[in-house]
């Protein structure tokens, strides 16, 4: 597969596959969500199960009228009931992707995380991956975690890296380069995440993450600018050429996300990982374009019923699992 370097190329790749992913949308009654639905229907990359509350059913009917062959409507009494039904549609295999519309994120995540009825397998870790197309960078850049995990520990870092690498491979990159981000290149016990970075690099050298380069700590500029690395006397396959950046906390990851979108003129996309199917939970401040590309990213992640690479965190040796059509296999 050719390496996907832009979000437009990602959409074109999806169209070439000729597969429409089935997307369950919770409360599709805001302008940006309507835009995403209409655009993706025109691009022929998705079909929809619109789960709406009674107060906004007319919006769903108007979307159905525009494309009756590829839009179905489910009506519930409240937004919370809509969230529960949409999650059930994904969990039972009726839909491939879950997408948030005009509903509070906390309410939707309660349904996603509900024991035995949600989308997060026992022992698995929920995280967020963002992808940026930056005008001054030569390829797409993935990074975590800008939205979910406040202070990752070692097991959470493992899951973030594994999920991001799996997605990077869906983009045609067979040997991703992962930068472990810090404010300097020094390991310091005052910053416990740098000690985790040492362990993660040892696991990478032992092949725990498959074919991938993992290096750090390093700052974001060194990860993406080879000249900065040369000045510091640093040399590795990751320096100046990162595909994935792993941030030490949500403050740094979220600030990076917002700064790129506001000042970097970047096109952005994002989704939740660790669940049995991709979950699209865009920020309220994201543009219509960003929300569309987030949906396209989820469609790419879900192009096979094989959804996510998962790590069991009950031992020091992460074990690889695959979830497919409701079953588990090793």
Which CATH number is 219's domain given?
Answer: 3.40.718.10
Q: Is the dihedral of CA 45, 38, 69, 294 positive or negative?
A: positive
Q: Which two tokens mark 195?
A: 């000690």
Looking at the structure, do residues 138 and 266 belong to the same domain, yes or no?
A: yes
Does residue 329 lie within any of the structural domains?
A: no
The position carrying tokens 């494309």 is 67
pLDDT of residue 323: 38
Looking at the structure, do residues 230 and 267 belong to the same domain, yes or no?
A: yes
Does residue 42 lie within any of the structural domains?
A: yes
pLDDT of residue 326: 33
pLDDT of residue 305: 40
Looking at the structure, do residues 98 and 131 belong to the same domain, yes or no?
A: no
pLDDT of residue 2: 87
Q: Which two tokens mark 199?
A: 């362990």
Looking at the structure, do residues 113 and 149 belong to the same domain, yes or no?
A: no
Does residue 164 lie within any of the structural domains?
A: yes
Looking at the structure, do residues 130 and 268 belong to the same domain, yes or no?
A: yes
Looking at the structure, do residues 50 and 134 belong to the same domain, yes or no?
A: no
pLDDT of residue 285: 81
Q: Which two tokens mark 249?
A: 């906390």
Does residue 230 lie within any of the structural domains?
A: yes
Does residue 37 lie within any of the structural domains?
A: yes
Tell me how far the alpha carbon of residue 123 is from its chain's centroid: 19
Overall number of domains in the chain: 2
> In which domain, by residue range, is 18 found?
1-123+275-304
Long-range CB contacts (within 8 A, 24+) of 107-114: 107/79, 107/80, 107/83, 108/26, 108/83, 108/281, 109/281, 110/80, 110/83, 111/80, 111/83, 111/84, 111/86, 111/87, 112/87, 112/272, 112/275, 112/279, 114/84, 114/87
- Residue 14, domain CATH: 3.40.50.10950
What's this model's pTM, rounded to 2 decimal places? 0.89
Does residue 314 lie within any of the structural domains?
A: no
The position carrying tokens 């403050």 is 251
Looking at the structure, do residues 170 and 192 belong to the same domain, yes or no?
A: yes
Does residue 323 lie within any of the structural domains?
A: no
Number of other CB atoms surrounding residue 57 within 10 Å = 16
Looking at the structure, do residues 72 and 139 belong to the same domain, yes or no?
A: no
**Blockwise average pLDDT, block size 10, the chain, 330 residues:** 93 94 96 96 97 94 95 97 97 96 94 94 95 96 96 97 96 97 94 96 96 97 94 93 98 96 95 96 88 96 51 40 34
Looking at the structure, do residues 138 and 82 belong to the same domain, yes or no?
A: no
Does residue 299 lie within any of the structural domains?
A: yes
pLDDT of residue 303: 58
Q: Which two tokens mark 114?
A: 């509900």
Give the whole-angstrom CA distance, residue 15 versus residue 10. Answer: 9
Looking at the structure, do residues 14 and 51 belong to the same domain, yes or no?
A: yes
Looking at the structure, do residues 39 and 155 belong to the same domain, yes or no?
A: no
Last residue of a domain, one of 249, 272, 295: 272
pLDDT of residue 25: 98
Looking at the structure, do residues 134 and 187 belong to the same domain, yes or no?
A: yes
């Amino acid at each position: 597969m050719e390496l996907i370097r832009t979000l437009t190329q990602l959409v074109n790749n999806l169209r070439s596959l000729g597969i429409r992913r089935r997307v369950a949308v919770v409360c599709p009654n805001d302008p940006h969500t309507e835009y995403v639905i209409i655009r993706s229907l025109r691009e022929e990359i998705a079909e929809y199960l619109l789960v709406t509350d009674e107060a906004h059913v007319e919006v769903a009917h108007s979307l159905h009228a525009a494309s009756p062959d590829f839009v179905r409507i489910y009506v519930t009494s409240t937004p919370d009931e809509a969230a529960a039904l949409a999650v059930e549609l994904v969990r039972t295999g009726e839909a491939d992707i879950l997408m948030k519309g005009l509903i509070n994120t906390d309410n939707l995540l309660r349904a996603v995380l509900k024991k035995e009825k949600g989308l997060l397998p026992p022992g698995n870790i929920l995280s967020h991956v963002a992808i940026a197309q930056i005008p001054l960078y030569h390829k797409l850049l993935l990074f975590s975690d800008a939205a979910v995990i406040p202070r990752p520990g070692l097991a959470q870092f493992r899951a973030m890296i594994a999920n991001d690498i799996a997605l990077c491979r869906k983009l045609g990159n067979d040997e991703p380069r992962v930068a472990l981000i810090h404010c300097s290149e020094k390991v310091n016990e005052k910053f416990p995440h740098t000690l985790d970075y040492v362990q993660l690099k040892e696991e990478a050298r032992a092949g725990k993450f498959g074919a991938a380069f993992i290096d750090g700590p390093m700052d974001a500029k060194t990860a993406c600018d080879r000249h900065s690395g040369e000045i510091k006397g640093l040399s590795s396959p990751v320096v100046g050429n990162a595909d994935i950046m792993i941030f030490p906390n949500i403050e740094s990851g979220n600030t990076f996300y917002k700064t790129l979108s506001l000042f970097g003129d970047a096109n952005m996309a994002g989704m939740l990982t660790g669940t049995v199917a991709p979950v699209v939970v865009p920020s309220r401040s994201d543009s219509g374009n960003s929300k569309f590309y987030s949906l396209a990213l989820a469609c790419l992640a879900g192009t096979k019923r094989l959804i996510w690479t998962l790590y069991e965190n009950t031992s020091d040796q992460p074990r690889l699992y695959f979830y497919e059509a409701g079953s588990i296999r090793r």
